Each structure stands twice: as C-alpha cells, then as structure tokens.
Amino acid sequence: MVSIKMMLILSVIAILTSIFGFTNTILTTMTLLLITNYQRLPVMIYCLPRELKFLSKIIRMVINLKKLQRKPLCELFANIAKKYPDKIAIIDAETDQSLTFNEFLKLTHKIANFFQANGFTKGDNVAIMLPNQIEYIPMYLGLSSISVSAAFININQVGETLKHSLNVMEFKAIIYHTDLEETLRNLNLVDNDSDYGISPDYPVAYVFTSGTTGHPKPAVMARKKFTAGYLIFRYLTSIDTNDIVYNTLPMYHTSGSLIFFAGTILCGSTMVFRKKFSASKFLEDCRKYNVTYVGYIGEMMRYLLAQPEKEIDRQHHIKKIVGNGLRRSLFTQLRSRFNIEHIYEFYGATESNVGFINDDNTDGAVGFLFKCFPFLNLKTLVKIDQNTGELIRDDNGFCIECEPGEPGTMVGLINNNQPYYGYVQKNDSVKKVARNVFQSGDSYFMTGDLLMTDQFGYLYFLDRLGDTFRWKGENVSTVEIENIVSSSFESYTHCIVYGQAIPGYEGRAGMVYINDPSINLRMINTVFNDNWKHNLPSYALPVFVRVGNEMQVTSTFKYQKEQLKKEGFDLEYLMDDEKIFFLFGDSYVEFDELLFQDLKDGKIIL
C-alpha cells in the first residue's frame, strides 16, 4: 500500500528506467540527489542502487495489487489452477500424499459447497483446529469463497487459554482433528456476544496472537491484507513457477498459511510441508522433492546447524530461505555450510501494518529505511522508555526519531493506503495506536518491538518490549503465565514472568520469580502436573522457576523485571533463601552448578 506521493515517485522512476535503462537511471537519480544532499555523498552512493532496485520490485507489486486486490482469493487460485491443472500444488512429506492444482481446486469447491448447503453464509465464523495437513489451506480458501471467515486456532492451546480463544468470538462451527476431541470435550464453551470492530473488507481469517491481557487475541486478516501479503513475498523474494517451497511452520500462523503459500496461489509453485520441523529429515526431504525455497524461523536453523556435518550438506537445490528470528552470527554459517545463495530475513507482525524484508542479503538485517528517499518511510523508529514502554516526546509533545545506532520502537503510519485492521475486539485494537506522533491528528501503529538502524539505514531487531517474548517460534504472553502461576497455590502468590535469554538459543525461555521462599521443589512439581501442564501450552511452560523474597519494585510499585533479566539463572546472584528450579524433561529439578555449566556449554537441549 502506498501514498499518492509515493506513487508519483515510483511512476517517475519507472518511466526513467524504461527510457534510459536501470544503470542510467541510477546515475541520473544520484546526480539529482547529490546536488541537494552533497554532505551525505558516501551514504547515498552506497544506498541508491539498493533503493532503486527495491523500488522497481515495489512498482511491479503495486501494479499487480491494483489488479488483484478486488478479486477473491479463491478466484486467484482458480486462475492458476486453470493454467497448471495437472501440476502438483501441494505435497505432504510425511505421507507423500499430494494434490494437483485441479484436485486442490475441486477440494476447495467441495468444502465451499458443503458449508453453503448447511446454511453457512457471509459473516459466519468457523474455527479451524488442525495440525499441518493437506486439507488446511483448501479449508480456509473454500470458506472464503462463500464469505465465511476462518479462525486459525493454535493446536497447542489447552485449558483456560483455549476456552478463551473459542469464546472470544461467535463460531458457528469448529473444525478439529480427532486427536483434539478430548481436549475440546473438557471445555465448557458458552456463547459470547463480543463487540466486533470489523472492516467492510470482510476477513478471510482471524489469526490469534499472544495477548498482553493474558489470553490470545484474534487479529483480523482482511482480504486485501491477504492479497498484499501474497504479493509482497511473491515479488520481494522473487518466487516463480519453478520453485518448490518447503514449509514446516504451523499453518495456524500467517507464515505457514499465507507467506509460504504465496508462490502457489500467485504463480503456480509447489508447496511441500511437514507437521513439524525435523532437522534429521530436512535435507532428505529437500533432496527428494528438489526444494529450492525454504521457510524458516531462527530456531529451526540453529537445530539444523547443530546436526553433525556431512559431505552431502551442500548437495541440494535450495537457493533461497525466507523467515525471521535468525541470529546475525548464523548467516555466514548457513551460507558456507549449506551453500545457500540468499537469506531473506523479514520483520512484521500478524496484526500490524508494519513490515520489512532484507532483500539484498545483508547479514542480520531485517530490511532498511530509505536514506535517499526518506519521504517514502511510512514506518520509522522513535525513542521509547524501555522500562515503562512510554514513547518519549519533545517539548511540543511529538515523538523523536532515533539516530543510527540508537535503539527505538518501530511505528507505522495508519492511513487509507496503509490501514490497520487490528483485532476483533475494538479495545484491543485501540491500545496499539499512538496519536499525535509527528503532527497533530496523525495515528501510528506501535509494534512494541525494539530495533536499531546502522548508518546505511539497515534495520536490526533487538528485542520485544512489554508483556510478550518469543520461544520455540511462538509468541508467549507473560500475563497468561502469571495468571496461572499466581493462582496455583493455596494462597495467592505474587510472581513475575519474563523472557530469559539463554546462550546459543533463539528467543527467550520463560522464567518466573515467585515471591515466597517457602515454596519447595515438591510443591512446584505438584502444581506443574496438576495445573500448569493442563492450562499452559507447552511452549509457555516456565523453563526456570526462581523462588525467594527479594522482588524489587520501582517508586511507582512496579516490579523491576530488567534487574531479574540481567541476573538470569546465574546462581551467583541468589540470596541465601533463594533457589532456582529447572524444567528438565518432564519435571523440575533444583538448578545447580553442574546444570548451569552444561546449559552454557550446550550439552542440554531444550
């Protein structure tokens, strides 16, 4: 989505390129820029080719977006299916089951006809609780063809978290795997008349994100947002008909169901999937199916690099890997060991209008801010108080942009060309919007993430702020864990939950400080088995539990998480009445020096 001003700039560049060619356009544009910005000569010489190349991709994307955004997703797929009816569209690597584009389309129609015949109409919602399987994407495409919205439910949710997800909206049906039948039977589901704040651009789907209020929140995935998402990854990662895409990310997340299906729905590439990532099966699958394009999260690549090196590590057809959360230090290792040509690291959030992608292979970057054309930056970094989460403003009440090397939070302008669809419940949406950011009356989406730029405008992800952290590829709500832990014992117990960095691991592991030194190992394992396992997803279970009576508070009586994060699980920081318990396998054990050293040395696999 771009503004009129940006469209004019893009049009001029497109015309210049068509007349003079790409190289001459660079020289002409550089000359004009240097006349007015001669003091920034070194930076602009470096950045201009990158930015013009990126803009040329954006031009093609915008042209196609104008043509495609009014078409239903099922129509987009039908057009490709007519072009490649007998080509394989999707393959289950575990069973070798596959569907051609024509078979895929027929299944989509069959699903649509079934629900329509049973009285489902526009405005109805259907919850999908399925693992990765061949029917998942045809399911939501079929529903969308009759204007019924699908809600993607995380299959790891249990207890109160799952109950909330299924009650926060009104669902006319739940499509679930038989393995989840007992989990659902144990819930007491009730009708819920939520206050919906839905755009007229009807939602194709709702994707649940971690909630700062303690429960997952359904983000609205409008049809235009879906189409724009498909196009962004189609053009910015240069996927084409001949690509074979490998996807092991959950389809209940946007990466698994939208991003890595972009090539299939727009240009006829084939998608190979597994229910879960397997480091030992990865290269075997990629060789078997001639995979050229891989979707990842950082944790997957770390597991892959931990496998014993083999002479055949470079014997495959993988050219591009696309994903997020990859540590900068791993870029070079992946390229050299597995001969990967291009790593497309991106940054974004399901509910936001902010997104970046590293399309020029710069190690560790998630994209860039324009340096030659700063007026095209509809997203930027602003200063924030990392302790309170409050935006820092100048004497006029406006936010302050960050300088290179200065950490800040990413914000994105909200307007008709860059809409923010938000969440199902209006109150949740409003909390993510900042007003009067750079001028009176403007509105910006607040990501709540900490990033930094270098002198060339390259963006680097630093950390998550606020009440969420990421572990095992999932966003985890600290409030959700706090609610469960604090109510687990006979009397209400104060606790703090935070994400704790562990050397060699992507993201942060859950750590809880319980302000009661009388709690012992037996009590922790009892509540773990009787409560936590039944009410928290596996990825949200605390890896560390620290008990004591030393919780520090600020002058406004807020707990000081930052000090606890700095101390981490280092035993030297423990007071006499403090202990740390560690989730080792299926139970907690007391954390000692031997475990501490083994964890630091990478001998313990989490």
Which pLDDT belongs to residue 428?
84
Which pLDDT belongs to residue 194?
40
Which pLDDT belongs to residue 438?
96
The confidence band for 2, taking pLDDT boundaries of 50, 70 and 90, is very low
Nearest to 539 by CA among 518, 502, 516, 510: 510
Query: pLDDT tens-digit profile of 498-539?
Result: 899 888 888 899 999 998 888 999 999 999 999 999 889 899
- Measure the CA dihedral 331/333/338/344, to 10°: 0
Residue 415 has pLDDT above 70, yes or no: yes
End-to-end CA distance of the chain: 41
What is the DSSP code (8-state) at residue 480?
H
- CATH number corresponding to 467-601: 3.30.300.30
Measure the CA–CA gap between 520 and 370, rounded to whole angstroms: 54
Query: pLDDT tens-digit profile of 249-278?
Result: 999 999 999 999 999 999 999 999 999 999
* Average pLDDT estimate for 452-480: 87
- Per the CB < 8 A criterion, the answer to whether 134 and 92 are in contact is yes
Measure the CA–CA gap between 210 and 508, rounded to whole angstroms: 15
Question: Has domain 372-463 been given CATH number 1.10.3720.10?
Answer: no
Q: At residue 7, what is the residue type?
A: M
The confidence band for 362, taking pLDDT boundaries of 50, 70 and 90, is very high
- Per the CB < 8 A criterion, the answer to whether 537 and 156 are in contact is yes
Which has the higher per-residue pLDDT, 207 or 24?
A: 207
Q: Give domain limits for the chain.
A: 4-69, 73-276, 372-463, 467-601
- Per the CB < 8 A criterion, the answer to whether 217 and 208 are in contact is yes
Average pLDDT of the chain to the nearest whole number: 86
Measure the CA–CA gap between 449 and 232, rounded to whole angstroms: 22
- Per the CB < 8 A criterion, the answer to whether 408 and 450 are in contact is yes
Nearest to 439 by CA among 377, 393, 390: 393
Residue 187 has pLDDT above 90, yes or no: no
* Six-digit token string for 99: 């569907």
* Average pLDDT estimate for 37-44: 72
Which pLDDT belongs to residue 564?
84
Query: pLDDT tens-digit profile of 144-170?
Result: 999 999 999 999 888 888 888 898 888
- CATH number corresponding to 73-276: 3.40.50.12780
pTM > 0.85: yes or no: no
CA 9 → CA 14, 354, 358, distances in Å? 9, 21, 22
Which pLDDT belongs to residue 469?
85
Which pLDDT belongs to residue 211?
54
- Per the CB < 8 A criterion, the answer to whether 446 and 400 are in contact is no
Q: How many CB atoms sit inside 10 A of residue 188's CB?
A: 6
Query: pLDDT tens-digit profile of 275-302?
Result: 999 999 999 999 999 999 999 998 899 8
Three-state secondary structure call for residue 252? coil
Share of the chain above pLDDT 90, in %: 53
CA angle, 370 then 375 then 381, to 5°: 60
CA 290 → CA 30, 242, 258, 318, 341, distances in Å? 42, 10, 22, 8, 16
Nearest to 209 by CA among 356, 419, 421, 351: 351
The confidence band for 196, taking pLDDT boundaries of 50, 70 and 90, is very low
Query: pLDDT tens-digit profile of 103-153?
Result: 999 999 999 999 999 999 998 999 999 999 999 999 999 999 999 999 999
